[in-house]
Every structure is written in C-alpha cells, then in structure tokens.
Amino acid sequence: MTVTRLQSRTLFSRKVTVSGIASLGALALVASCGSAPEDSESGAETTASSDFKPCMVSDAGGFDDKSFNQLSFEGLTEASDALGVEPITVESASPTDYNPNISNLIDQGCSLILTVGFDLADATKAAAEANSDIDFAIIDDASIDLPNVKPLTYDAAQSAFLVGYAAASYSETGVVGTFGGAQLPTVTIFMDGFADGVAYFNESKGEDVRVIGWDVAAQNGSFTGGFEANAVAKNTAQALIDQNADVVFPVGGPIYQSAAQAIRDSSRPVALIGADADVFESDPSVGDLVLTSAMKGLKESVDEVVTTSGSDEFDNSPYVGTLENEGVGIAPFHDFESRVDPALQDELDEIEAGIIDGSITVESPSSPS
C-alpha cells in the first residue's frame, strides 16, 4: 500500500469553459491506497490521446452548489485543460436522472465517467458492469468492487476534528452547534469529528464547551431531511442559535446558505463553519460569516483520476483522503484571523501532526476503512 500525496492547488485558480450536454432531466486514521501519476521532473505538460473523453455526472445538487459538486467539476475541468481534451458534463435534476444521464455519456463514447456522490452507486455499478471497457470513478462511495471502478472517499472526521477544536476555542457563549442534511455516513462523519474536536479542546483546556445538534454516543441529532437551502434548513439553524450557539456547522451542501440567512436575521455575532469547500472562497456572499471550513480534496483527487485515466494509468485502488495526504484539511481563518486566539493556529498544527503520527486518534463509525 502506498500513500498518495496530492499536489496542492489554489482553489478556483481559473475558470474553464466546458462543452457538455444538457441534463436529461434538466472521512479512524487511514492511509490512501492507490497509485498517483508520476510528477514530471522536466515540467513537461501531460497529454492524453486525442480520443480520450473524460465525463462527469452530478448528483441532484448540480454543479453550482458551491460545494461538493462544484469542486468535483473544477477538478475535471482543470485536469482536462492540462491534458488538452474537452470534458463532457451533465447535471442531474433528481435521482431519476442518474441512469439515463450515465447512459447518455456512454453513448457519447466517454472514456472515463466520474459520478459525484454515493447516491449514484447503483447506477454506476450497473453501468460499469455492462461496460468493462470504460473507466469509472465514484466520489464518497466504496461499495463497488469492480476492476474498472475507482472509489474516492475522504476521512472528513479528521478535518472536522480540527474545526471543532477551533470552534470551541472561538466560542464566547460556550455553546456550538451542528446539523446535517440527511443522516448519512458522509454527513455524520463531519459531525462526529466536530464534536470530538470540541471534546478534545475541553479536555486540553479544562473547559466545558457544549455541542448541540449532534450526540456522538447516541449517533443522533438535527437533520433537515435533504440537501436543499430552504425554510427547514433555516429553522434548524435558528434553533441552534436560539439555544445560544455562537458557532454553527451545517453539513450538507447548500444548507449552509440557509444557516447564513438565519445568522444574518438573528443580528447576533454567530460564526459559520463550511463543509467540503473553503466556503469563504467558494461563496464570497457569506465570506464575512465564515470562521473556517472542513475541506475535502475533491478537486485534487478528481484531477488525479482524470490525469491517470488519460495517461492510460487508471487503477481501481481505493483512494482515501486524509490529513497526511492532504485529501482533507482545515481552511484558513480569513477575515477571522485577528479574532481567534493568537495561539490557536500553532495548537491546530500540533493536533494535525498528532493525528498524522497516530498519537491523537480520530474515530468515527462512518470513517472509510
């Protein structure tokens, strides 16, 4: 087993125009397994064969969710640009679009099809079984064991542990809150890490910062029932604020937008924590509220898969993003830099090193194995 260290890249470094088709319907400490593309010592640009077609299907969130789908989309477009090929992308308006959208991409002669999200697992497996000559990769799902399918998963508990510690350090009320879209492993892994990071802060500092919205031991808490930015999400965030939370961590794509609205309407000094993306960068409209974010290296890992497939080096070894391989991480404090404890960054660096060397154990029932 080899540890893959993804190359660091600047989020949203450039915009790429993508040709595509219209939609038919509109993170326990683990190492990354799998082979990475070789870095070019000469700096020569990697190229793919002229008939290589990388393709991607979004889940129902769409590519403009400023989070999960958008980062995956950017990884595809950046890698395609570097390879000198044109990607094909298709958005899904609902789960009923998954099968026909993948079929459409197969009909267009796609060489690699990336499916964004565990929700597409059944459709991906069926398509991969029927098309063994096509490379597939699926994000946030490791249930498919086929030679032409590469799973990309992320131990988000590690990054969420860091933001939980930061939230506890920042809180003045002694109450921080989290809530999720749906109670699924890809959501609760963040909530577990967040709560455990708060607990670690309390243990280290002799404090008693309280987490509301999620009970790690009982594995239950506050959920909106979906991933839409709507009144339910806003009310769920408001309920945490009403219980004196001055840091709120929404986990579930666009639901953070509803949390931001609740914070603004409350006229209280409540900080927002982002998930998946560095939300300060991905959505400047809420940047002034964002303390930090628990990030997944979606763009980088997708870039890697496209590059290896385009170079005829595709393999199905599972990829797990961790702090060690930079597949997950904590975003900068941006506008909050002057408002956090001056010692906080050094403490986070020390904790991160401890998680990487195993002296600090971060465990979640939802962590990839």
- Residue 77's pLDDT is 95
Q: What is the pLDDT of residue 41?
A: 35
**Amino acid type, 207:** E
* 247 within domain boundaries: yes
Point out the residues of the chain with pLDDT beneath 50.
1-44
Residue 126, in any domain of the structure: no
Provide the number of structural domains found in the chain.
1
Question: Residue 211, SS3?
Answer: strand
Is residue 7 situated within a structural domain? Answer: no
CA atoms of 322 and 352, how far apart (whole Å) = 11
Instruction: Evaluate whether residue 172 is within a structural domain.
Output: yes
d(CA 63, CA 33): 27
We report the CATH number of the domain holding residue 271 as 3.40.50.2300
| Whole-number pLDDT of residue 46 | 57
Q: Which of 262, 263, 291 is nearest to 170 (CA)?
A: 291
Residue 104: inside a domain, yes or no?
A: no
Domain that holds residue 290: 159-296+329-357
Whole-number pLDDT of residue 59:
87
* 292 assigned to some structural domain: yes
pLDDT in tens, 299-340: 899 999 999 999 999 999 999 999 999 999 999 999 999 999
Structural domain includes residue 105: no
For 254-293, give one letter per residue: b (16+ CB within 10 A) or e.
bbbbbbbbbbeeeeeebbbbbbbbbbbbbbeebbebbbbb
Would residue 103 count as lying in a domain? no
Task: Give me the amino acid identity at 100.
Answer: P
What is the predicted pLDDT for the residue at 49? 65
Strand pairing partners for 330?
Answer: 294
